């Protein structure tokens, strides 16, 4: 069974392939930012806690407006990427960083806004309750919503006799909000992307997803399968589609 230490190691491995901040937001990010604005979530001059911030693909956009950002992630390597990009954006003094789990995180502060995006950090009612309690103004959560299609990972998992799972996400938050009779705004969004990556990167990605799902890889079959997906330039092209929900509520 995986523990926090083994999960940290896997996320550290993922950091080098994980998307990084760009000052030009993707079309999907623009939809997220527009939806947050429409829900009345304004980061201007606010203090922000980002739970499971990763490399900061959202965090740094908010940091350009926020008064201060506390960035929490299990992976030190993810945080190191965020620190480098924050320095390049002249935002280093806007941040403090915490490497650890949500259970590890201790503070006597509250934050204007608590935000979390595609993070496994909030896994129980107690986790969500604390996330809500640390916010004095608003909370926003972007999470999986039952749809995940990958031209790379679907055949890999099928070859191992399994189905690629959609991680738990939005349904946990929605259940907690409904149980506690808290009014919220809910928006469903889909993101379809074309990926073109080298064979070695495709193999590494497939292995990572098998490991994080606790599946022992069949290396000869895996290598052969991904090799068969290569084009003349040695790249592997595939599409992914993700269905997510952006859930926000005010205090």
Residue 77 lies in a domain: yes
Residue 200 domain-assigned (yes or no)? no
The domain of 30 spans: 4-146+167-194+245-250
- Could you tell me if residue 212 is inside a domain? no
Within-domain flag for 240: no
Helix/strand/coil for 66: coil
Give the residue from 237, 228, 167 showing the smallest Cα distance to 201.
237
Tell me if 181 is assigned to some domain: yes
Q: Kindly state whether residue 237 falls inside one of the protein's structural domains.
A: no
Q: What is the CATH number of the domain that holds 174?
A: 3.40.50.150
- Tokens 């909030």, located at residue: 122
Q: What confidence score (pLDDT) does residue 168 get? A: 85
Measured on CA atoms in the order 212, 4, 61, 249, is the torsion positive or negative? positive
- Identify the pLDDT of residue 5: 52
Helices (H) and strands (E) in the chain — how many of each?
A: 9, 7
pLDDT tens-digit profile, the chain (251 residues):
334 555 889 999 999 999 999 999 999 999 999 999 999 999 999 999 999 999 999 999 999 999 999 999 999 999 999 999 999 999 999 999 999 999 999 999 999 999 999 999 999 999 999 999 999 999 999 999 999 999 999 999 999 999 999 998 999 999 999 999 999 999 999 999 999 999 999 999 999 999 999 999 999 999 999 999 999 999 999 999 999 999 999 99
Distance of CA 162 to the CA centre of its chain: 23
Total domains in the chain come to 1
Instruction: Tell the burial category of 75 from Cβ atoms under 10 Å away from its Cβ (0-12, 13-18, 19+).
Output: buried
Q: Is residue 238 part of a domain?
A: no
Q: Is residue 62 part of a domain?
A: yes
């Amino acid at each position: 069974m995986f523990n926090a230490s083994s999960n940290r190691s896997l996320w550290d491995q993922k950091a080098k392939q994980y998307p990084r901040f760009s000052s030009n937001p993707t079309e999907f990010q623009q939809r997220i930012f527009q939806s947050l604005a429409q829900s009345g979530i304004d980061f201007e001059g606010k203090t922000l806690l980002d739970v499971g911030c990763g490399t900061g693909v959202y965090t740094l956009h908010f940091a350009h407006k926020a008064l201060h950002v506390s960035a929490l992630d299990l992976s030190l390597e993810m945080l190191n990427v965020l620190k480098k990009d924050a320095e390049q954006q002249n935002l280093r003094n806007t941040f403090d960083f915490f490497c650890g789990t949500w259970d590890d995180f201790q503070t006597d502060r509250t934050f204007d806004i608590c935000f979390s995006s595609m993070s496994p950090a909030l896994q129980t009612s107690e986790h969500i309750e604390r996330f809500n309690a640390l916010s004095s103004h608003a909370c926003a959560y972007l999470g999986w919503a039952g749809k995940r299609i990958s031209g790379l990972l679907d055949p890999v998992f099928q070859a191992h006799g399994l189905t690629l799972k959609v991680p738990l996400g939005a349904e946990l938050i929605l259940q907690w909000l409904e149980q506690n009779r808290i009014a919220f705004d809910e928006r469903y969004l889909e993101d379809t992307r074309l990926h073109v990556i080298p064979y070695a990167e495709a193999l590494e990605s497939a292995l990572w997803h098998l490991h994080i799902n606790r599946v022992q890889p069949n290396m000869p079959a895996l290598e052969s399968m991904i090799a068969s997906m290569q084009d003349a330039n040695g790249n592997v092209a595939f599409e992914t589609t993700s269905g997510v929900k952006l859930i926000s509520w005010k205090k």
